[in-house]
């Protein structure tokens, strides 16, 4: 059967509105497919971690939590009760479940040694030891107790910290308190840049 451009557009518009080209109401079927997808999933209200807008999100997690099961995020959508986004998410936020399940996620730290061209996977122990050593050495070398006028400043100007938009509020709070306690003054967050 030849389909004209006009017929195709009419059928598409009708389909999008839940009515098939043959006049069937597709809305119950569409709702049933959605129900099948999230049936038995636990619903968690959360906040998109990607930017400062802070859109409300509902994450659907499958898995009973039993010993031989693994909880998995199976679907994420905007929270319609959120006064910020009213159920919508931008394309970046709509893909946020990849933060939890993407096979491209790295689970080991990477280190590029001085002079090396490539990154290499190292243990957490090595990465933390490397970081702590350099943090301490740099802070000791650049910490200022007083400024030129003799005012007490207790600041560390040799280290800058840029927070990640993919950390939770609790992580961000902890990072902020820790870096302030270390005397850092060059301190910012990715979402503000």
Q: Which residues bind ligand SF4 (CB under 6 A)?
A: 48, 50-51, 53-55, 85, 89-90, 92-93
Pick the closer one to ligand SF4 by CB: 63 or 87: 87
- CB of 101: closest distance to ligand SF4 in angstroms? 17
- CB of 59: closest distance to ligand SF4 in angstroms? 13
CA distances from 166 to 9, 96, 105, 146, 190 (A): 41, 10, 13, 35, 9
Pick the closer one to ligand SF4 by CB: 71 or 190: 190
The residue number with the shortest CB distance to ligand SF4 is: 93
- CB of 75: closest distance to ligand SF4 in angstroms? 15
Pick the closer one to ligand SF4 by CB: 32 or 84: 84
Q: What are phi and psi of 41, to 5 degrees?
A: -80, 145
Pick the closer one to ligand SF4 by CB: 20 or 95: 95
- CB of 169: closest distance to ligand SF4 in angstroms? 13
Distance CA 57, CA 79 (A): 5
């Amino acid at each position: 059967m030849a389909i004209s451009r006009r017929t195709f557009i009419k059928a598409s518009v009708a389909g999008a509105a839940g009515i098939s080209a043959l006049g069937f109401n597709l809305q119950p079927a569409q709702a049933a497919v959605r129900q099948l997808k999230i049936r038995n999933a636990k619903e968690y209200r959360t906040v998109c971690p990607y930017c400062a807008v802070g859109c409300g999100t509902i994450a659907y997690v499958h898995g009973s939590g039993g010993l031989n099961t693994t909880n998995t995020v199976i679907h994420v959508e905007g929270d319609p009760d959120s006064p910020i986004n009213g159920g919508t998410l931008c394309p970046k936020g709509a893909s946020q479940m990849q933060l939890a399940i993407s096979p491209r996620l790295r689970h080991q730290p990477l280190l590029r040694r001085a002079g090396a061209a490539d990154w290499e996977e190292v243990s957490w122990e090595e990465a933390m030891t490397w970081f702590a050593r350099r943090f301490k050495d740099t802070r000791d070398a650049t910490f200022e107790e007083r400024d030129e006028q003799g005012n007490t400043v207790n600041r560390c100007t040799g280290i800058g910290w840029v927070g990640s938009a993919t950390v939770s509020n609790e992580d961000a709070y902890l990072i902020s308190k820790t870096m302030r306690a270390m005397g850092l003054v060059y301190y910012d967050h990715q979402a503000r840049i």
